[in-house]
Amino acid sequence: MGVFRRGFQAMFGRNKWKILRGDKVMVMAGRDAGQVGTVTKVIRDPRFPRVLVEGLNLNKRFLKRTKDNPGGIVSVESPLHYSNVSLVDPVTEQAVRVTWRFLEDGTKVRVTKGRNASGSVVPRPEVLKQRRKPRTTSTGPKDTAVADAAEVTHKPGDLPSALEQLAPLLRMPHVHEAAGAAAGAAAQQQRQYHAAAAAAVLGGGFASSPIAAAAARLLGGGGRLQPLSRQGGSWRGFAASLW
């Protein structure tokens, strides 16, 4: 039989992290409980959040020998669970909890709370202003040169390239002739349809009926018959001409 395990649930939502890189924390559980250290890294995994504290929770690791490293067994820092550390109050030097508050100027800060808290503001670490990976300033082969990016290529009054390509076509006479020929062909096809519909009506013995007169008025006055469809046939056009 399998063992039922309840799935891990996210401890924190978005932007709910109260311990930041560079904070001074105290370990609350484990072999290093009660010791104070500086956070060097925060692993922001919502299901299993952890932190690395400088000089605490050391474990032995074997490193392979390289050109720059002799290798061997060394002590490295292992992550601690986020819930096993607490921030240290800057005044009382005790482990406390923190909450978010807003100052008069709208700045969002962390304020200590609890039995051993002084209610003071926990400042944001200065190390966060420094980039762990320095941004490269040298240009590569695929980067755009500064002179090319600063060059002004647009002139007031110029048309976009797409309009420049379409404008000559709109002024060409053969384009208008082709459009007129297409419209004429469509009109000729419509007249043929009207003639066929009128012949079908007149050929059925209705030459002296009001329907025949309506068909004649439609053909003589340039009227249009509606095409046959499921909703109704060509009779709708004749009925509209009776009134």
Burial grade of 160 (CB within 10 A; 0-12, 13-18, 19 or more): exposed
d(CA 56, CA 38): 9
Evaluate if residue 149 carries a pLDDT over 60.
Answer: yes
- Cβ burial of 3 (10 Å; 0-12, 13-18, 19+) is exposed
Delimit the domains of the chain by residue range.
24-129, 163-241
Lowest mean pLDDT among 7-16, 169-178, 181-190, 203-212: 203-212
Burial of 215 from C-beta contacts in 10 A (0-12 / 13-18 / 19+): buried
- pLDDT tens digits for 47-73? 888 999 999 989 998 888 888 888 888
Which carries the bigger pLDDT value, residue 46 or residue 124?
124
* C-alpha–C-alpha distance, residues 140 and 138, integer Å: 7
pLDDT(19) > 50: yes
For residues 219 and 123, which has the higher predicted lDDT (pLDDT)?
123
Name residue 91's amino acid. V
**Under 8 Å between Cβ of 53 and 47:** no
**113 vs 175: which has the higher pLDDT:** 113
Nearest-angstrom CA–CA distance, 236 and 230: 12
Please report which confidence band the pLDDT of residue 86 belongs to, taking 50, 70 and 90 as the band edges.
very high
Q: Return d(Cα 186, Cα 37) in angstroms, integer.
A: 86
Residue whose structure tokens are 């053969």 = 174
Over 50: is that where the pLDDT of 226 sits? no
Least confident of 100-114, 155-169, 227-241: 227-241
- Per-residue pLDDT, averaged over 98-110, amounts to 91
Rg of the chain over Cα atoms, rounded to whole angstroms, equals 42
pLDDT in tens, 26-54: 999 989 999 999 999 999 888 888 999 99
What does the alpha-carbon distance between residue 206 and residue 243 come to, in Å, rounded to a whole number?
Answer: 18
Q: What sign has the CA pseudo-torsion 92, 97, 101, 107?
A: positive
CB 128 within 8 A of CB 21: yes
Report whether pLDDT(217) > 80. Answer: no
Q: What is the mean pLDDT of residues 217-227?
A: 51
**12-21, 32-41, 127-136: which has the highest mean pLDDT?**
32-41
Residue 240 parent element (H or E): helix 235-241
* CATH class, 24-129 region: mainly beta
